[in-house]
Each structure stands twice: as C-alpha cells, then as structure tokens.
C-alpha cells in the first residue's frame, strides 16, 4: 500500500482517456480501490484521500456526463 501507487494511477488517468473513463465509473472510493487493486495498484481509502487532499483535488464527480477532476497531466 502506498501513496506512490495512488499517484501512479492518477498519472495514468491523466495520460490515457480510457483509464479516466474506466475510473470515473465507480460511485465510492471503496469501489474505486477494488477496481484499482484488480489493475495492480495497491493503496487504501486513507491513502487515496490523503493524496487528493494534498493535491487539492476532490473525488466527487461533476458535469454531464459525470467525471472526476483528479487526473494528473
């Protein structure tokens, strides 16, 4: 488990539209993490929340279609 793994996923989503679309689907952080673990990322809800807080990002979706603004470019 690591904050680095969270960062790796946020960077991957920033670089790849398909990753962003896939990870915009889960409704909760718990569902997001289950999906991430299946893809080889290893982090906790607390680590995800901490990285998002430190970067000033919010997990909530917005817009139509709903999407997250957590992806790093």
pLDDT digits (tens, 9 = 90+) for 26-43: 999 999 999 999 999 999
pLDDT at 10: 98
Compute CA distances 7 → 10, 21, 63, 66, 69, whole Å. 5, 17, 24, 22, 14
**Consecutive sets of 10 residues in the chain, 73 residues long: mean pLDDT of each?**
94 97 96 98 97 97 94 94
Q: Tell me, what DSSP letter sits at residue 63? A: T
Enumerate residues 6+ apart whose C-beta is below 8 A from 65: none
At what angle are helices 3-15 and 45-55 packed, to 10 degrees? 60
pTM of the model: 0.94
Residues 6+ apart with CB under 8 A from 64: none
């Amino acid at each position: 488990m690591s904050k680095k793994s969270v960062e790796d996923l946020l960077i991957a989503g920033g670089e790849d539209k398909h990753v962003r679309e896939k990870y915009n689907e889960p409704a909760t952080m718990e569902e997001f993490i289950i999906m991430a673990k299946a893809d080889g990322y290893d982090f906790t809800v607390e680590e995800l929340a901490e990285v998002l807080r430190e970067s000033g990002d919010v997990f909530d979706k917005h817009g139509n279609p709903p999407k997250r603004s957590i992806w790093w470019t």
